[in-house]
Amino acid sequence: MHLSYAVIDLSKLKRNFFNIRKKIKKVKIMAVVKADAYGHGIRETAGFLSSLGDKKPEYFAVAFPDEAVELRKAGIKEPILVFEPFTRNQVNDLFRYNLIASVFAREHIRILKQDQKKFGKKKIKVHIKINTGMNRLGINHKKAFDFIKKIDNDGDFVIDGIYTHFANSEETNKSFPGLQIKRFNDLLRKLEANNIKTGLKHAANSGAILDLPESYYDMVRPGILMYGYYPSLETSESIRLEPVMSIISKVSSKTEIQMGDTVSYGRKFTAKKKIKIISVPLGYADGFSRGLSNKSYAIIRGKKYQQIGTVSMDRIMFNINNDNIKVGDKVIILGDEKNKKITAWDWCRTLNTIPYEVMCVIGKRIERIYKK
């Protein structure tokens, strides 16, 4: 068994989720659990959220069909939207597991209709993705009306929803999200004027949930918020959050080095005096980035200690000076103890990244332990 592990505190997940519910009031929630629930475990996370009775998510969302299949096999019965474009080979899973495809091109419609009869589907539920400025996926908002009208007239389809995605809702300047909202609203008004029903309207990701209530529509799509992090340092903190994941390890060795001795690959740390160092079985293969070398900390017995030397694939070292730290002592890599705290944001400031990436790259050999 690996000495390093992640504790997933489901009680914190629940509190975060309920705080999102409180913020959005009566709007529905599509819980985003793609990328293994941002590293937290898709089966366990979605299973727990699905157990929350009348407060559970109305929908779940994933990136790819295989993620949705995993949810169905885990017993998740709620509607599941697949964000990414699908291929001909993935259509079978969409139908077999009753998944909802995102569509925004004629090719999507053609592929779905090819296998419709094979699976006995009288109606195919879809959500239509609108590109209002992200310019990644979706049909351009200027061309969307005719596309949607054709789907609405096609008796094989039910438009269960229509949505867009913000490019920078997590930034202080909200002028571009405002333009995206305007483009989306203009399309919605035109569709309504022509009696075209679009099902659930949704746009708000985590940043928009915090700061753009005008984008809530019928449903919101929280991702990183559920796992306890604000999407940037520019958003409001209008929802109280607690990081759901902690990463724990143990001291596996201890030694003493002299002044002038160096530590790890490339000799990037040189001792300025005689010190004791410990090693911990965690490395960049587990998601502890090499970019954190000599720039990060851990908590041991309620005190912070600096990581020293180049981060290696499987192991990192810490300077404990002359403190009485023993082999087997608990090492908190992410988490808190005795008023000391290390969060993903501490890593993000060093790595110039975001909590999404930090959470998603925590490796599979780090066992997830679930705590309620």
Could you list the active site residues?
Answer: 34, 265
The long-range contacts involving 273-276, CB below 8 angstroms and separated by at least 24 positions, are 275/319, 275/320, 275/321, 275/322, 276/319, 276/320, 276/321, 276/322, 276/323, 276/325
In whole angstroms, give the CA distance from residue 163 to residue 200.
Answer: 8
Cα distances (angstroms) measured from residue 223 to each of 32, 57, 172, 326: 5, 12, 19, 39
Q: Which residues make Cβ contacts (< 8 Å) with residue 133, sequence separation at least 6?
A: 167, 176, 179, 180, 183
Cα distances (angstroms) measured from residue 162 to each of 5, 105, 148, 195, 329: 40, 14, 10, 15, 52
Instruction: Check if the beta carbon of residue 54 is closer than 8 Å to that of residue 78.
Output: no
Instruction: Check if the beta carbon of residue 9 is closer than 8 Å to that of residue 237.
Output: no
Instruction: Check if the beta carbon of residue 240 is closer than 8 Å to that of residue 68.
Output: no
Which residue, 132, 221, 137, is CA-closest to 180? 132
User: Read out DSSP for 77-140?
Assistant: -S-EEE-S---GGGHHHHHHTT-EEEE-SHHHHHHHHHHHTTTT-SSEEEEEEEESS--SSSEE
Angle (deg, nearest 10), helices 144-153 and 106-116: 20
In whole angstroms, give the CA distance from residue 363 to residue 2.
Answer: 12
Class of residue 71 by CB neighbours under 10 A (exposed 0-12, middle 13-18, buried 19+): buried
CA contacts within 13 A on the Cβ side of 219: 23
> Which residues, in sequence order, are bridge partners of residue 337?
340
Q: Which tokens go with 325?
A: 């730290």
